[in-house]
């Protein structure tokens, strides 16, 4: 996977404007909609059981996020997910708060069991919980896991047959064979609510235009991280950083991935 | 309808601060609340069946938006709508995504059938679908309609006895007799999520203070569009544009409609 | 209560990063999450009956806000509230729109009856309604109450055994014995949606780290108000004010309370 491939993928997203269907939380949903547009995609939010499968049928990717999970949403996630699987549409699962409550842990596991999830993206604690590696979660934040996150992510990806993304100072992206570290980003991304959710949305837009999920996730995280780095430069605080994050991603040229992406294989 | 009438109406909104009851989606609801305030109104969001009719009873306008439609919400929209009809309170319907799924199309039609909608505001695709003119919708975005949008909007308004607004580079406003084009606005308004929803909120605030729905819609769209033009001037990207859009509408003087509104009768 | 105590409490919030569990409305929920982070806390939003009690079990404070109340939410509020009471975790109740509809008034009363609320924070109209002092509410805004707000708040706090906060140009904080006026803040805080909700979130973060609820509420309101004063200085309108409000609170040093807090005992 060369820098040119990443840049070409980003250019394809911008050109094709893939629809990204979200079933997500009501906290960061507006941020997810706007960041999808800034990345080059077109967001759709729809969660009623009456329409989710039909909506999934017309999109390029499905993003499932359990940030404000409820019982009704689970049925919609399963219905949309089954449709996505039928139509070979990638599903990105963000298991927000898995490990914080049994309801979230069980639901994330159920979605992983009953659907063919394409990319599972969480923080170290959440992935640790789902991988059975004694992950620790404090509310919806990671408090780490027991063991080597790279080894755990790799083994889990291999066993589950999915691509796993562990967000952090360096994001880990692995399908169980290849392991990439994406070292773009900025600590200010942790000073606002929703950057994790947004990363999943951007990943959805890239996954819609790629057949290589490791490539899609790495390119998406690099693009989002570069925007974060640039946004931090002039920010006076977390919310002016947030404003700049959207502006910078929207203004980011695909070719920027050639020079600014910090992705290495390990 | 003279520029002075538009400006007077805007001044009246600012003076009376009409309550605008929204039953709307959870994606752009915060934007709708803030833009209502910036326009001069006071937003209320309430969707529980236990209170919607009572809430509608105290407001100046009701905005129904199906952007994240669910079954429970439909009953609340009908109950609030019936109360609005009883009390001669204008209802603005934004049929977000009509045409994208059967659930949205059917619900928009049901609301048009069972309630006396005052203003129907959608993009060309949505209006095309509802008018039976082979509208095309891509997710929640318009992909056009078959035929002349002005003729279709005019015929539909006439047949349904409502005011129809077709949003676009030039917004069409018609009650079936008069047809106005509002040519304010800026392409950056399409670079963020929610400007369509916000336009409906601003229209609600203006409709609350007018007896002429064509005038109310045109004045609202002109004011919102002028704010967009001014916001675009200094924006570094979509989110700084969004910040400026609210600032500019809040700072817009009613008299600005005298010189800056681009409304023409066709 | 000395300025040094307020400053020390703020420093403690920043150090311990208390989890604040919100069951709140979908209009301002993103603002509540971000302002909690800016104050120094960590927000959790969760409202499903399957998990609310478990979530409350791990947090420092619980914020209940009825801004978009529905029937299902009430059960979750009661379940979370009972857990908070069992574990002696402070509950902040924001009775948004009590007085506007019977559903909101009755629910606010029910929460006050069935739970041991720690801090009740509302505008004069809402508090007037709940205190039986003929409060007037216009949508979700106060239209005043009959009588002296300080006397009414004091009597209600004493009778109900809670701390009462009446938001306004000067915020009233009382537990029925002590009465404090917090005179920080800026009129621009009324030009955006959600500052009331945000004030409750900040209060939750401070209450999590204090045993003195009058102190916690006064320190929180002073910190939030100072941020508002500073944000207003450079704002070009309501939304750039909003951006600056978050930035200023995040950048506020605890020691700023020593010099800038305007709190007086009456």
pLDDT band at B1 (very low <50, low <70, confident <90, very high): confident
CB contact under 8 A, A101 and C54: yes
Q: Would the CB atoms of C30 and A194 count as touching at under 8 Å?
A: yes
Domain ranges of chain C: 3-265
Residue B142 has pLDDT above 90, yes or no: no
The answer to whether the Cβ–Cβ distance between A240 and C242 falls below 8 Å is: no
What integer pLDDT is reported at residue C136 of this predicted model? 85
pLDDT given for residue C196 in this prediction: 97
Instruction: Of A124-138, A227-241, B43-57, give the lowest mean pLDDT range.
Output: A124-138
- Chain C contact residues (CB < 8 Å to B): 25-28, 30-31, 67-71, 97, 100-104, 138-141, 191-194, 236-240, 242-243
What is the pLDDT tens value at each position of chain C, 266 positions in all? 788 999 999 999 999 999 999 999 999 999 999 999 999 999 999 999 999 999 999 999 999 999 999 999 999 999 999 999 999 999 999 999 999 999 999 999 999 999 999 999 999 999 999 998 888 888 888 888 888 999 999 999 999 999 999 999 999 999 999 999 999 999 999 999 999 999 999 999 999 999 999 999 999 999 999 999 999 998 999 999 999 999 999 999 999 999 999 999 99
pLDDT for residue A142: 85
CB atoms within 10 A of CB C94: 31
Q: Using CB atoms, which residue from B44, B45, B50 is nearest to C103?
A: B50
List of chain C residues whose C-beta atoms are within 8 Å of the C-beta of residue A103: 48, 50-51, 54
Specify the pLDDT at position C143: 82
Residues of C in contact with A126 (CB under 8 A): none
pLDDT in tens, B85-110: 999 999 999 999 999 999 999 999 99
Is A145 in contact with A189 (CB distance < 8 Å)?
Answer: no
The alpha-carbon gap from C26 to the nearest alpha carbon of chain B, in Å, equals 6
Tokens of C61: 């404070």
Give the number of other CB atoms < 10 A from CB of residue A144.
Answer: 16
CB contact under 8 A, B236 and A247: yes
SS3 letters for chain C?
CCHHHHHHHHHHHHHHCCEEEEECCCCCHHHHHHHHHHHCCEEEECCCCCCHHHHHCCCCEEEEECCCCCHHHHHHHHHHHHHHHHCCCCEEEECCCECCEHHHHHHHHHHHHHCCCCEEEEEHHHHHHHCCCCCCEECCEECCCCCCHHHHHHHHHHHHCCEEEEECCCEEEECCCCEEEECCCCHHHHHCCCHHHHHHHHHHHHHCCCCCHHHHHHHHHHHHHHHHHHHHHHCCCHHHHHHHHHHHHHHCCCCHHHHHCCEEEC
- Report the SS3 class of residue A87: coil
Residues A70-87 have a mean pLDDT of 98
Most C-contacting residue of A24, A27, A142 (CB-CB within 10 A), to test interface = A27
CA distance C30 to chain A (A): 5
Rounded to an integer, the average pLDDT of A214-222 is 98
In chain A, alpha helices (H): 3-16, 29-39, 52-56, 71-86, 102-114, 124-130, 149-160, 195-207, 213-234, 238-251, 256-260
Of A26, A34, A46, the CB nearest to B239: A34
Q: What is the pLDDT of residue C134?
A: 82
pLDDT value of residue C147: 87
Shortest alpha-carbon distance between residue A55 and chain B (Å): 6
Does residue B125 register a pLDDT over 90?
A: yes
Q: What is the pLDDT of residues B244-260, one digit of tens each?
A: 999 999 999 999 999 99
pLDDT greater than 90 at residue B61? yes
Name the CATH superfamily, with its identifier, for domain A3-265: Ribokinase (3.40.1190.20)
Does residue A61 have a pLDDT over 80? yes
pLDDT for the residue C144: 83
Q: Provide, as residue numbers in chain B, all residues whose Cβ is less than 8 Å from the Cβ of A242.
A: 239
- Average pLDDT across chain A, whole number: 96
Using one digit for the tens of pLDDT, what is the confidence trace for B143-196?
A: 888 889 999 999 999 999 999 999 999 999 999 999 999 999 999 999 999 999
């Amino acid at each position: 996977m060369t820098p040119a491939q990443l840049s070409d993928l980003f250019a394809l997203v911008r050109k094709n404007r893939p629809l990204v269907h979200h079933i997500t939380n009501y906290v960061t949903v507006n941020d997810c909609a706007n960041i999808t547009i800034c990345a080059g995609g077109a967001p759709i939010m729809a969660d009623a059981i009456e329409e989710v499968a039909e909506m999934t049928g017309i999109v390029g990717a499905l993003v499932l996020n359990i940030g404000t999970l409820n019982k009704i949403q689970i049925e919609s996630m399963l219905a949309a997910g089954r449709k996505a699987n039928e139509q070979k549409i990638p599903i990105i699962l963000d298991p927000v708060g898995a490990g914080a409550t049994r309801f979230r842990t069980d639901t994330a596991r159920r979605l992983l069991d009953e659907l063919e999830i394409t990319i599972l993206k969480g923080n170290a604690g959440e992935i640790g919980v789902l991988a059975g590696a004694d992950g620790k979660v404090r509310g919806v934040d990671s408090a780490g896991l027991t063991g080597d996150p790279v080894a755990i992510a790799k083994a889990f990806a291999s066993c589950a047959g999915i691509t796993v993304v562990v967000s952090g100072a360096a994001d880990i992206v692995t399908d169980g064979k290849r392991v990439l570290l994406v070292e773009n980003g900025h600590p200010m991304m942790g000073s606002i609510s929703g950057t994790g959710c947004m990363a999943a949305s951007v990943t959805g837009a890239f996954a819609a235009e790629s057949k290589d999920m490791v490539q899609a996730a790495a390119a998406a995280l690099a693009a989002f991280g570069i925007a974060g780095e640039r946004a931090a430069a002039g920010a006076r605080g977390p919310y002016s950083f947030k404003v700049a994050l959207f502006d910078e991603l929207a203004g980011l040229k695909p070719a920027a991935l050639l020079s600014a992406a910090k992705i290495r294989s390990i």
